Structure 1
């Protein structure tokens, strides 16, 4: 198991919980032979939170690395976590709330899940020692917006997560104060990262006061879940393995890695089938057609058939013009056999040729044979 873990802890007036939390984290790490760092991002607390952290930093100097940073960006837990990403130094990152409701002892087990192949591990709150309203709203949200709407089988809003550091460089987030978790998990899953979970006991807050406005948070998170469903996640551009060639370049999208051998933006690829103005134009045509069928179906049918006929005729004329031009005009590029044989195969680009086939058993051997006869087979994907 990886021995080094960076733990991000956002804080806001948690003076009564910080010392106990730090002791439990360090105790867990020492008993599991782990090492790492605790990164506190304080959201301008007005109590003794920062003073206590500074004292603990000196107390555990040489035993455990504790860092304290004063929040510079917008207020809110989500912004604190994102701000904390820039300070992590280890390959595994954990995030946990400072209110002692989540057990820091679970981090060791979650890190083992990462070592076993998971990319993100979420702590599922299966035993909840909280008030009925919060528990009911949390379970309802998770069932409706996470499981049904997005097919996420984990406790999305859990404040305890462990994940690989590389994910924070791939996932581009623009959350509101309470919508980090859903966007983070959906983006990571869209890029092919594996999400796992462990079950934990979620305790009632012992000290301090909760900063969450239940109704506002649920409304904001629910609306964001609907927006993410309709908007989807943008594909992730994957850079080439080397600056000398485009091998390995492509995009990650819908849990798959597409190797396109190009770093062009995804809007120039088949991943984006329509741009916005095209969608609006098509929607307008469909709307006009439906309205026409309602008010005058006969005239609408005549206009529709006439339009289709004209389009077919124009397409036939266009194809005929292309054929005639290709027959009349000489080739634009002419290469001799000697020139082709003199090309160094190592300087040639790599291409993926997609050949949809159906009952083409007689054609396929000729196709493969031709490629083997004239070109180096290692340049092609068959």
Structure 2
């Protein structure tokens, strides 16, 4: 099964080369492509990717100049992918790329959706304070209770699925939702869910994009998804 790894980026020029190098090493011998879906970054992240792509044709940049945002970037990346399996991973190396082969094996063994989770044995978070831990726990419980999703980590941005399954629900997704996994899970209702533990690491270079505005956007997204009609 060919794997397309999509990483949505904005001003990740200092991180993207290291991410691609790690992916090339980890996926050696695997049928894969790396697609960096970049929101026309001022630091020209896309140009750095194009430079790498000249030596490795499995690496390419999707330079997005309109409809910017995390959700649209992931959706455009999945839509442009050529693999049977598509994975979303952050470029800042907080998502551990070494578990990608395990995630792919879960998908090949019959899971509809495979999520890298911090909240199961073997997973965790690095250098999080008490307030952030509590906030993440509260947001997780909110999604589980209101939306009925069985994910242990519905706020994860690190996941994998079959591209054909994504295409079936793509037109119904609200890409402005902050957490694209939550959007996908609420529409897809996976029959078989796979979860792989990982430790959410510190950001390699640069600043976190987490803010109060993002938290409010998440709460708004959960409320909107809660109001969606449920299948009988």
8 Å CA contact retained: 2:177, 2:183: no
Residue in 2 that maps onto 1:75:
68
1:176 aligns with 2:172: no
Report the aligned-residue RMSD: 1.7
Q: Residue by residue, what CA displacement relative to the aligned partner does 1:229-273 show, whole Å, maximum 9, x if unpaired?
A: 22235xxxxxxxxxxxxxxxxxxx45xxxxxxxxxxxxxxxxxxx
- Aligned counterpart, 1:225: 222
Note if contact 2:86-2:160 (Cα within 8 Å) is conserved in structure 1: yes
Per the alignment, residue 188 of structure 2 pairs with: 188
Counterpart secondary structure, 1:135? helix
Pair member with larger Rg: 1
Distance in structure 2 (CA, Å) of the matches to 1:130 and 1:46: 29
Change (3 A) 1:70 1:177: farther
Deviates more, 1:131-140 or 1:179-188: 131-140
On the 8 A contact 2:40/2:63 being kept in 1, the answer is yes
Find out whether 1:66 has 2:59 as its counterpart: yes
Number of residues of Structure 1 aligned to a counterpart in Structure 2: 224
Note the residue ranges of structure 2 that are not aligned, 5 or more in a row: none
1:50 is matched with which residue?
46
The one-character-per-residue Cα deviations of 1:262-288 (angstroms, maximum 9, x if unpaired) are xxxxxxxxxxxxxxxxxxxxxxxxxxx
Whether the aligned pair in 2 keeps the contact of 1:130 and 1:204 (CA below 8 Å) is yes
How far is 1:177 from its partner? Answer: 4.8
Question: Which structure is higher in RCO with an 8 Å CA cutoff and minimum separation 6?
Answer: 2
How far apart are residue 95 of structure 1 and its match? 0.7
Matched, 1:206 2:199: no
TM-score by length of 2: 0.90
Assess if the C-alpha contact under 8 Å between 1:44 and 1:70 holds in 2: yes
CA shift for structure 1 position 42? 0.8
Q: How far apart in 2 are the matches of 1:25 and 1:77?
A: 21
Distance 1:20 1:135 in 2: 28
**Cα distance between partner residues in 2 of 1:207 and 1:139:** 26
Deviations 1:315-342 (A, max 9, x none): xxxxxxxxxxxxxxxxxxxxxxxxxxxx
Structure 1 residue 113 and structure 2 residue 111: aligned? Answer: no
Structure 2 CA distance for aligned equivalents of residues 156 and 100 of structure 1: 19
Unaligned runs of 5+ in 1: 234-252, 255-382
Which residue number in structure 2 is paired with residue 100 of structure 1? 93
